[in-house]
Structure 1
Amino acid sequence: WGSCWSGRALLLPPCLTLSPAPQLPDRSALESRVREVEEENRQIRLQLGQSQASAQLPADGTYGGQQWGASDKGNRTGCPRAPPVHKCEVIHVACVCAGHNASRDVVTLVKSVLFHRRNPLHFHFITDSVAHQILSALFQSWMVPSVQVSFYDAEQLKSEVSWIPNKHYSGIYGLMKLTLTKALPADLSQVIVLDTDITFATDIAELWGIFRKFTDKQVIGLVENQSDWYLGNLWKNHKPWPALGRGFNTGVILLYLERLRRMRWETMWRLTAERELMSMLSTSLADQDIFNAFIKQNPVLVHQLPCFWNVQLSDHTRSEQCYTEVSDLKVIHWNSPKKLRVKNKHVEFFRNLYLTFLEYDGNLLRRELFGCPSPNSPQSIQLQSALEQLDEDDQCYDFRRERLTVHRVHLYFLQYEYLQADDTDITLVAQLSMDRLQMLEAICKHWEGPISLALYMSDAEAQQFLRYAQASEVLKNRKNVGYHIVYREGQFYPVNLLRNVALRNAPTPYVFLTDVDFLPMYGLYDYLRRSVVQLDMANSKKALVVPAFETLRYRLSFPKSKAELLSMLDMGTLYTFRYHVWPKGHAPTNYAKWRTATTPYRVEWEADFEPYVVVRKDCPEYDQRFVGFGWNKVAHVMELDAQEYELMVLPNAFMIHMPHAPSFDISKFRSSPSYRHCLSTLKDEFHQDMSRKYGSAALKYLTAHRSI
């Protein structure tokens, strides 16, 4: 099959694919026959590979020092043969990843690998605390079969390389590939090491199979450098580190860890670095300089890979000599600081390939590997058990199924920096989808404190949001906003899941639970922090109610004070929130009392009350059975009351709802009797659960519900 995967290889020419198998009554017989055919094909490919290798390659098994240019037959892949890799052999991939931006990049790399792969994978990530948090949450929620992930603390490795001065923009993390023999498990014998700016255009198993071609002495597999950097002729007085000819690029490395450890790699690279730094003073290309200086002293240890395994798109490269057809490409390396803006005659094609994976729906990569047993995680076993208990004939099956959907989550999608002001600090918590994106700039202007947002988007929409945020003067200068992407899946808007994601990732002791289509009054952040102290929230269970108002005007002169707001209320420019359509939602706030109040006052819970509140971060989470429109906040406020939170209305706080088109879910609620029936059913079940959880104290909720 070469690099064809169900006819979906992005770059390769059309290959012969298996025609659909007829439906047989005995599935085990079919699977047995498929395995036999695959084994026969594997043996044929192996024999072909050995005969081709003996005809084309030098006796030592390397690719030699020849130029792998456009004229090389060995570079023409056609429908290439697969390497001699067992179909269920685990392929190990290592990557150094630090910070928010690199975490985004590595996801695109992983997508390209998963798209083409037919083998189980084990990713080894050397990370800082930021990347660890982001990637561990992502892979846990991605739940890709036959993929294992391990993390290693970069902090513990810094001392190994911090003594090396490095001018490269990658900083200290650009040197950490030197430490992999120490960082990775002692029983791991081989690993593919990749930079984060790599895109695969073929099955990574082909690259893994090249380990079989190593001679007994070879320990490192690398592609020749395609720029003139190590030739030292780029500018006057350009003095690069020593290298063998053009040198090698370390964006893609095959590391034979077992052999490297035996030859005491850690000592050898250190001695090389110490010797060269006496004259060079610092590295310019991070680990690549040290690898090259080591190889120049020990050329027998390197196995040169064909250049299509690392087509380098940096400036001053000869990458175009590496291929004539796009089908020749296997790995594209965006190793220029300019990234996608690099100059290359085929850059438009490369960019489109990269964007394909960037915006590719990662949910489609959750596919099982046929014939390879995949150990189920406790999470997937629990999920499968819950799914099996659902009744597919239940009229509300779709609602119940939605609650069990595991959405991929990419935390801190953009750069994030936050220093807690003090122990009264408050995070604004909200959720949104693409159609509410225009509200973000206004909220940032009204709220200077930290913000935690869950954004419900497809992979393609997440990239649109990234471009929008990077182009916005307001958003790109705000580093204390945590943007958490929850990837779209299913037919309902998982509103309470989104709220919980934003709530869990709020970094402060207190949270302001609101919606993204409300603008807080100017100065609300500081006022709420003072109220937290005044009402002793650290030692009591209180929920501070921020009264909500609305305008029907798209252009509003926002009131600068309570007095100005009251004047606008009297003139009919503003209304109490949902006064016309759903007064019960906010009537208990007691707006008449609020007009003249000068101190906080307590209100009692009433049925359907759904105020926006400030609470301690350890408050109950939202009930995720409520998806789409209806009762999602009502249930949460009911639980706050059940846990004996005092509802205190703040006399000098307010927020204003800005008008917008109705959401898809509210339209469904209004037009679909079955939608309303299922929401009513979920309400009843929620009341039953409340009774079990809180006993007789919860009877008032059921009584209030039935009296409506």
Structure 2
Amino acid sequence: MTFTYIVSLQIHLRLPICLPLIHPSLGCNLSRSLEINEICCAVSDGRSLLLSACLVESTEARLLERDVLASRVREVEEENRQIRLQLSQSQGLNTAEERANHSECSRSPTAEKCELIHVACVCAGHNASRDVVTLVKSILFHRRNPLHFHFITDTVANQILSTLFQSWMVPSVQVSFYDADELKSEVSWIPNKHYSGIYGLMKLTLTKALPSNLSKVIVLDTDITFATDIAELWAIFRKFTGNQKQVIGLVENQSDWYLGNLWKNHKPWPALGRGFNTGVILLYLERLRRIGWEQMWRLTAERELMSMLSTSLADQDIFNAFIKQNPVLVHQLPCFWNVQLSDHTRSEQCYTEVSDLKVIHWNSPKKLRVKNKHVEFFRNLYLTFLEYDGNLLRRELFGCPSQLQHALEELDEDDQCYDFRRERIMVHRVHLYFLQYEYTPTDDGTDVTLVAQLSMDRLQMLEAICKHWEGPISLALYMSDAEAQQFLRYAQASEVLKNRKNVGYHIVYKEGQFYPVNLVRNVALRNVNTPYVFLTDVDFLPVYGLYDYLRKSIVQLDMANTKKALVVPAFETLRYRLSFPKSKAELLSMLDMGTLYTFRYHVWTKGHAPTNYAKWRTATTPYKVEWEADFEPYVVVRRDCPEYDQRFVGFGWNKVSHIIELDAQEYDLIVLPNAFMIHMPHAPSFDISKFRSSPSYRYCLTTLKDEFHQDLSRKYGSAALKYLTAQRNI
């Protein structure tokens, strides 16, 4: 704002000598009259200055007055200079604020400290469950308030997200789930052409789905990325209070869709002007319920469907038709709260600088491939959160110690094996079914799932395993957030993996310095849908046809009614390229030729010696073997078998301890005569290198073994003493 101040210099006509003393910087306008000259100067100091006329009665008086006037004018000049400086600084500040989003939003208050912010999302299926994690990361990264997420989910998303948030353990974050199946009847009668399907209409039902005592909620699409604190958006609800009629906060649509000029005969649903986009919504639930929202949107939809026949943009069409009839109910949000990157967007008119961006909306089926002149910047911002380490978002908001902190405080930091014990109580984030998964149970109840775990350096084995095993697979992958995205790109580019929908990929996110191998195995084991599991490692390729052979053996050996562990003999090759044997006869020939070896015969003979390879060469029927110390075969068991002991991390005793537990529970170890698997060569793992080079590592492994035997004795009594005795006799 500019204020105009008047400096009047009233000078008698007989004092023209005074006029040249007015400095040009005052910006004065001279006007003469017959009696006075008035010099009016527009300055900015907020005061009106009057300079006395130059009165002379004599030459001396004239000179004296001239000096006085000159001195006074100099004072005015200096004061004017200071005023102009202040004005320019003020204008510069205002200009900067105007540049920042062209609104006063940057000065608007955020939510109160500790105020709980409610966020709702509709999320269904594997892909949406993966996408919403990036949204959540961007919110958590900027947030300063406690959050309560409300997810409308199908069964798949419920399982994935509930596991993720339970294992994420983010402080001051609550999560609630609502069954989308119970809401389908509310919107299933509406024909919808949008790619989101029936779930694209679910936001219409939020007043019914969410708790009745919830008064306000921010509703977001899963393809949203935040670039600021969500509390700033939540604070806009306060502006609703000035008009009790306002119930919905929306950003104007940034494409010409609702103008109806995108193509010939384009007939969109009715909308107010350009319409509004529903990717970001402020819903004042309390007021919506008061005005009868459920009945109002239904009547609107029924009326418009008589001529439109179906929705093109799902709930957005119905919201806009409703607002067209009730414009006073909408509170228009500044456009930077929903910068839309759709195919026909004009979103670049919404921002001029990076500071303008608040929320980015990838509302195009093309997502990151959408055409936009600034798409590289937006893509990089999105990728920042996509690959951001979610463990870093576990930071405390208010200094309240977490359960993990309490557990860590109970550990003795002077313990030589502190790092091993810390690893055992660490909670790793888990994202189940990272890719699309489909499984149809078999009728005979003999189906078996291959269960394995891997890290990024074993990724190349996946295609080969899928070619060798046609049955269902459960894989747990130990990866960082960035590596998980690399895996996603690899899987989506692989023709072999793209065509396999019966493979469940479960991400266990990296944390800590050891590889939690048994925890990762247990994640894969817990998420099996078949009655039986084949417990193996990703470095092994099973013989072609093993899946069908195992199912026949399960029936033959009556595994449904007996406790048996079927042993699949393990072999290895030192060659990276191998003509894989298609039968036992071919394998024996390669074994005799030295192309294949029994697994670890030259390094760890005891690990598989009890399999009795000599007997296996000529066996035609399954045979029983006895447990021996350090035996660690790969077995087929029922799904309800004991889990792996998670105290064993890195290298050493992770499988040995599991076989001991099976034997303690009186499982019979049965070797299959026509089954085999071959270990493919690879570089030594980092953990085995530490085991070989670190005395401390080996000492701690021995300590963990002793503690395992003690726990085993407490669990199984005197029957477990044989394992401790066998270990001491080695």
Instruction: Give the structure-1-normalised TM-score.
Output: 0.88
Question: Do the aligned partners of 1:424 and 1:533 also contact (CA within 8 Å) in 2?
Answer: yes
**Counterparts of 1:269 and 1:460, CA distance in 2:** 43
Aligned to 1:523: 545
**Counterparts of 1:84 and 1:150, CA distance in 2:** 24
Mapping 1:543-582, distance limit 5 Å: 543-582=565-604
Question: Do the aligned partners of 2:251 and 2:335 also contact (CA within 8 Å) in 1?
Answer: yes
**Counterparts of 1:306 and 1:78, CA distance in 2:** 10
Question: Do the aligned partners of 1:76 and 1:327 also contact (CA within 8 Å) in 2?
Answer: no
The equivalent position to 1:327 in structure 2, one of 355, 366, 374, is 355
The equivalent position to 2:138 in structure 1, one of 108, 112, 132, is 112
- 2:188 is the alignment partner of 1:162: yes
Amino acid of the structure 1 residue aligned with 2:359: V
1:388 offset after TM fit, Å? 2.8
**Counterparts of 2:635 and 2:100, CA distance in 1:** 67
Aligned-partner SS, 2:646: coil
Aligned-partner SS, 1:539: coil
Cα 1:679/1:473, change in 2 over 3 Å: same
Question: Do the aligned partners of 2:252 and 2:275 also contact (CA within 8 Å) in 1?
Answer: yes
Amino acid of the structure 2 residue aligned with 1:267: Q
Aligned to 2:558: 536
Aligned-partner SS, 1:96: strand
- Provide Cα deviations, 1:216-262, integer angstroms capped at 9, x if missing partner: 11000000000000000011100000000000000000000000000
**Counterparts of 1:681 and 1:386, CA distance in 2:** 20
The equivalent position to 2:396 in structure 1, one of 368, 391, 397, is 368
Mapping 1:70-469, distance limit 5 Å: 73=99, 75-76=101-102, 80-81=106-107, 83-214=109-240, 215-370=243-398, 381=403, 383-422=404-443, 423-469=445-491
Question: Do the aligned partners of 2:270 and 2:324 also contact (CA within 8 Å) in 1?
Answer: yes
RMSD of equivalent CA atoms? 1.5
- The percent identity for this pair of structures is 90
1:77 offset after TM fit, Å? 7.6
**Counterparts of 2:630 and 2:297, CA distance in 1:** 68
Aligned to 2:638: 616
Aligned to 2:29: none
1:74 offset after TM fit, Å? 6.6
Question: Do the aligned partners of 2:97 and 2:103 also contact (CA within 8 Å) in 1?
Answer: no
Aligned to 1:472: 494
1:75 offset after TM fit, Å? 1.5
**Counterparts of 1:79 and 1:300, CA distance in 2:** 21
**Counterparts of 2:97 and 2:648, CA distance in 1:** 62
- Provide Cα deviations, 1:273-310, integer angstroms capped at 9, x if missing partner: 00000000000000000000000000000000000000
1:316 offset after TM fit, Å? 1.1
- Provide Cα deviations, 1:495-544, integer angstroms capped at 9, x if missing partner: 00000000000110000000000000000000000000000000000000
Aligned to 1:703: 725
**Counterparts of 1:419 and 1:526, CA distance in 2:** 16
Amino acid of the structure 2 residue aligned with 1:400: R
1:420 offset after TM fit, Å? 1.1
**Counterparts of 1:190 and 1:552, CA distance in 2:** 64
1:78 offset after TM fit, Å? 11
1:390 offset after TM fit, Å? 1.3
**Counterparts of 1:218 and 1:73, CA distance in 2:** 28
Question: Do the aligned partners of 1:122 and 1:148 also contact (CA within 8 Å) in 2?
Answer: yes
Cα 1:157/1:497, change in 2 over 3 Å: same
Instruction: Give the structure-2-normalised TM-score.
Output: 0.86
- Provide Cα deviations, 1:627-668, integer angstroms capped at 9, x if missing partner: 000000000000000000000000000000000000000000
**Counterparts of 2:478 and 2:225, CA distance in 1:** 26
The equivalent position to 2:708 in structure 1, one of 686, 691, 703, is 686
**Counterparts of 2:611 and 2:579, CA distance in 1:** 24
**Counterparts of 2:104 and 2:483, CA distance in 1:** 35
Aligned-partner SS, 2:560: helix
Larger radius of gyration: 2
The equivalent position to 1:514 in structure 2, one of 533, 536, 545, is 536
Amino acid of the structure 1 residue aligned with 2:280: V
- Provide Cα deviations, 1:92-148, integer angstroms capped at 9, x if missing partner: 000000000000110000000000000000000000000000000000000000000
1:385 offset after TM fit, Å? 4.4
Amino acid of the structure 2 residue aligned with 1:414: L
Amino acid of the structure 1 residue aligned with 2:215: S
**Counterparts of 2:705 and 2:98, CA distance in 1:** 69
Question: Do the aligned partners of 2:99 and 2:352 also contact (CA within 8 Å) in 1?
Answer: no
Q: Which runs of 5+ in 1 are unaligned?
A: 1-55, 57-69
Mapping 1:478-493, distance limit 5 Å: 478-493=500-515
Question: Do the aligned partners of 1:222 and 1:304 also contact (CA within 8 Å) in 2?
Answer: yes
Question: Do the aligned partners of 1:691 and 1:699 also contact (CA within 8 Å) in 2?
Answer: yes
Aligned-partner SS, 1:250: strand
1:272 offset after TM fit, Å? 0.2
Aligned to 1:67: none
Question: Do the aligned partners of 2:491 and 2:498 also contact (CA within 8 Å) in 1?
Answer: yes
1:80 offset after TM fit, Å? 3.2
Amino acid of the structure 2 residue aligned with 1:675: Y
Aligned to 2:26: none
Aligned to 2:679: 657
Q: Which runs of structure 1 show a deviation greater than 3 angstroms over 4 or more consecutive aligned residues?
A: 70-74, 76-82, 383-386
Amino acid of the structure 2 residue aligned with 1:363: N
Question: Do the aligned partners of 2:168 and 2:428 also contact (CA within 8 Å) in 1?
Answer: yes
**Counterparts of 2:624 and 2:439, CA distance in 1:** 33
Amino acid of the structure 2 residue aligned with 1:398: D
Amino acid of the structure 2 residue aligned with 1:402: E
Bigger relative contact order (CA 8 A; separation at least 6): 1
**Counterparts of 1:170 and 1:316, CA distance in 2:** 19
